[in-house]
Amino acid sequence: MTIIVAADENWAIGNKDDLLVRIKEDHRNFKALTKGNVVILGRKTLCTFPGGLPLKERTNIIMSRDPEYKVEGAIVAHSVEELLEIVKQYDDDKVFVIGGGTVYDQLLPYCNKAVVTRLDHAYEADTYFHDLDADEEWEITNTSDEMTSFDLTYHFVTYERK
């Protein structure tokens, strides 16, 4: 599985149940990577999508501990164990973990790749991602050229588990 996340200089990823910043090119990259594939996300993350609906042109798997929770047009997994059984039917490189913080924390041990939009700025935040730069199990295998959105610079950085 592959994680997709945008993180600032301090590995912050969110504040008050929302993204830190919206970057058009980051959204294009996200869509290009995930379209036609499987996305795994939490219930709270789904609520931030337009209309609270699953993403089109993807198989959506929603993580929720609530055994009664159902989402039209999506598969619901109620535990990591249940999720791992579900994703066995998909090619591993076509499965993307897209958030939020709790889902990232639960699934990072099962991921071998992370595509991180590294934001060259520190934001006020209440949700953080694991610092892959400080983790000896992970290494950078690709970094894009510097990109800008208004006055914000960022890079697309690919990490792979050693």
pLDDT digits (tens, 9 = 90+) for 37-78: 999 999 999 998 989 999 999 999 999 999 999 999 999 999
The DSSP element (H or E) to which 81 belongs, if any, is: helix 80-87
3-state secondary structure (DSSP) of residue 97: strand
Check residue 25 and give its pLDDT: 96
159 CB contacts (<8 Å, ≥6 apart)?
A: 113, 114, 116, 132, 138, 139, 140, 141
pLDDT on residue 6: 98
Q: Look up the pTM and report it.
A: 0.96
Q: What percent helix, strand, coil does the chain show, rounded to 5?
A: 25, 35, 40
Percent of the chain past pLDDT 70, that is, above it, reads: 100
- State pLDDT tens for residues 86-112: 999 999 999 999 999 999 999 999 999
The domains found in the chain, sorted by start residue, are 2-161 (3.40.430.10)
Annotate 35-51 with b (16+ C-beta within 10 A) or e (fewer). Answer: eebbbbbbbbbbeeeee
